[in-house]
């Protein structure tokens, strides 16, 4: 039963997705705009992905494969200069690739998390039936920037270390720290406190979070199949579902404390 026009928030796999679907449909245009903005701000990060393949060298201005006859016809005394120019070009390309790779890394750690954390909080607002505040997308730059960056870096490092330890620990850590971004924006805690609270809140819900991540993969694939446009509703549904799970678990854990106070 729903009271005060609120969603039925009960921790669970099925209820999170069903509530997430309702949240998405009730706030479709607002949440669509959030996902669209997030897609735009992550576009520069995608643009900086450089891949150097040896086969690409044949397509460059030096044209390795097709210039052997040219090298031979010019004599062995010119090979040194030709190779020198080619090596210089490769070195220059490598420097630019490294430079843009560095920019991409800095962008992914210093800019992208602020938008993502803010977007997650907007979805939580939608679950709480509060009018989504788009300022959350940039509010992190002004109010909580250091905590966001450090929390994202801490979670990333813990998950990577866990993955190196036979993969399974990394998956467990990733599931148990799934609420860190919500906690940072919602409770304004520091990174260590946010990690500890997420670990506490997700106790007993790790498998639910894992299966939600697993099912989300297929939702995204299905969205891509629907002429690619379906990826937006798919991501909206997933984000709404995880926000619903966070809010339901948060209420479940805080309810005993409220009863004691009363």
pLDDT of residue 90: 64
Grade residue 2 by pLDDT with cuts at 50, 70 and 90: very low
Which residue ranges make up each domain of the chain?
A: 13-51+104-261
Residues 134-157: tens digit of each pLDDT: 999 999 999 899 999 999 999 999
What SS3 state is found at 5?
coil
CB 162, CB 171: distance < 8 Å: yes
CB 186, CB 171: distance < 8 Å: no
Grade residue 165 by pLDDT with cuts at 50, 70 and 90: confident
CA 208 to chain centre: 19
Residue 214 has pLDDT above 60, yes or no: yes
Residues 85-105: tens digit of each pLDDT: 556 566 666 777 777 788 888
Residue 170 is encoded by which pair of tokens? Answer: 């990394």
Instruction: Please give the Cα distance from 101 to 72 (Å, whole number).
Output: 37
Residues 166-195: tens digit of each pLDDT: 889 999 999 999 999 999 999 999 999 999
- Secondary structure letter of residue 65 according to DSSP: G
Instruction: Please give the Cα distance from 239 to 27 (Å, whole number).
Output: 12
Residue 32 has pLDDT above 60, yes or no: yes
CA 118 to chain centre: 12
């Amino acid at each position: 039963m729903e009271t005060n026009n609120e969603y039925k928030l009960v921790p669970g796999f099925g209820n999170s997705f069903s509530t997430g679907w309702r949240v998405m449909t009730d706030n479709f245009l607002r949440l669509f705009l959030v996902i669209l903005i997030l897609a735009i701000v992550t576009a520069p990060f995608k643009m900086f992905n450089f891949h150097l393949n040896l086969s690409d060298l044949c397509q460059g201005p030096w044209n390795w494969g097709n210039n052997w006859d040219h090298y031979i016809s010019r004599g062995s005394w010119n090979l040194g200069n030709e190779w020198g120019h080619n090596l210089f070009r490769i070195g220059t390309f490598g420097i630019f690739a490294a430079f843009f790779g560095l920019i991409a890394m800095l962008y992914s750690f210093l800019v992208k998390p602020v938008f993502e954390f803010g977007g997650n909080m907007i979805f939580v607002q939608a679950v709480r039936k509060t009018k989504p505040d788009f300022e959350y997308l940039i509010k992190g730059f002004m109010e909580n920037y250091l905590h966001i960056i450090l929390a994202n870096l801490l979670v990333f490092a813990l998950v990577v270390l866990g993955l190196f330890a036979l993969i399974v620990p990394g998956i467990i850590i990733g599931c148990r720290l799934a609420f860190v971004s919500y906690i940072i924006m919602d409770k304004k805690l520091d990174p260590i406190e946010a990690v500890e609270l997420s670990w506490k809140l997700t106790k007993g819900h790790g498998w639910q979070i894992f299966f939600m991540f697993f099912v989300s993969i297929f939702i995204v694939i299905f969205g891509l199949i629907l002429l690619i446009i379906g990826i937006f509703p798919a991501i909206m549904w997933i984000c709404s579902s995880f926000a619903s799970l966070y809010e339901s678990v948060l209420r479940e854990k805080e309810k005993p404390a409220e009863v004691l106070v009363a």
